[in-house]
Amino acid sequence: MPSGTPETDRPFVVVGVSGGIAAYKSVELVRRLRERDYHVAVITTPAAERFVSPFTLGTLASEPVARDLFSEAGGPIPHTRLGQLADLIVIAPATADVIGRYAAGLGDDLLTTTLLAARGTVLVCPAMHTEMWENAAVQENLATLRRRGVLVLEPASGALAGGDEGPGRLPEVEVIVERVASLVEGPGHPLSGRRLLITAGGTREPIDPVRVLTNRSSGRQGHALAEVAAQWGAEVTLVTASELPAPTGWGHVTTVRAETAAAMREEVLARLDDADALIMAAAVADFTVRPAATKLKRRDGVPTLHLEPTADILAEAVARRRPGQVLVGFAAESSDALRNGREKFVRKGVDLLVLNDVSRPGAGFETATNEVVLIDATGEEPVSLRSKAEVARAVLGRVASLLSRGDE
């Protein structure tokens, strides 16, 4: 827990509220953070005050709402005071406009100047319509912030303003509070101190120096699992075939690149004995080929590719598992998903199988959302369509439960 500031011995949390319809949730967020005995300061943008009253927020916060970039003569400079004192700044909601200005390094109001002066952790909670959330400029701005160590709590999927539905909804207040608590109080989740080995992405099997055999997996789900596991206190090794940036903002993720099935097998098995749990979220190729030494030419006619099976990494892990070790498999299916998933759970001998019907809209590869069924010895639990970070929380909650049973 932070040692406090010159003004308070409690964690000092700044809540930045920008101008989106989800600003009404900031009232409950401030109340819940105060219930945890944090010192809570609030900054509103002019647009935020079109949605929620500074008087209401200030009544619930630890001090009056900060609204003006310029203080009275002789008084403390607002943005430097808040930036220096804050253990954590959480922007909820964070609009596309605020995200863009923060990524560009602009400081044209009290919120953005405070962000530029911040010494502590910054957590951004985007909320906007789906079309805006999926816009390339917004995603590039978020990628820039992540590279700089800013933490991003991805939005939920659900009802939006105007009767629309989709990803872009501000996560529920309890989700934001849990994330804030894990940052300012330190990890207190059952994954604290656990060592997790997680795989991600679709492997790429070379045909020649130019071409590869691969699949549609983006690696987003595996990377979300790694980031959430680190948030929950685990020591994570992420073995990934994806080109996504390594999870940032957490000191507990070691990222290892492994492009082919053979390379992923080598990296996983080398680290398996030290892991409390293995989560095989990667889409590992079932077949590979012996690559040609030089590029295959069209003029030479249609080549014959001799497919060879790759090693079953999960089966090898099951065969050499140690007592108490939890093994999780993933199954991507496009037809008869539940039947195939049940059969795979039994055949693989894993503790948990995450079934993903990639034929369903918004689920599966190359999407920001997912919808899965968790299958274990006790039965099946559907996890409805939501962001991949939220799916990761559902999976890891089950992993934590399985690990705690092994300790009994």
> Annotated active-site positions, please?
215
- CA 359 vs. chain centroid, Å, equals 23
Rounded Cα distance, 77 and 219, in Å: 44
The answer to whether 168 and 400 are in contact (CB under 8 A) is no
> Residue 334: which of 303, 365, 313, 304 has the closest Cα?
365
What's the DSSP call for residue 66?
B
- CA 348 to chain CA centroid, nearest Å: 27
CA–CA dist 371, 220 (Å, integer): 13
Question: What are the φ and ψ backbone dihedral angles of 32, each rounded to 5 degrees?
Answer: -65, -35
Q: What end-to-end distance do the CA atoms of the chain give, in Å?
A: 29
Residue pair 295/210 in contact (Cβ under 8 Å)? The answer is yes
Nearest-angstrom CA–CA distance, 345 and 372: 14
Cα dihedral 364, 391, 241, 246, rounded to 10, equals 140
- Determine the Cα–Cα distance for residues 3 and 359; give it in Å rounded to an integer: 50
Of 225, 268, 227, 272, nearest to 247 by C-alpha is 227
Half-sphere exposure of 76 (CA within 13 A, CB side): 10
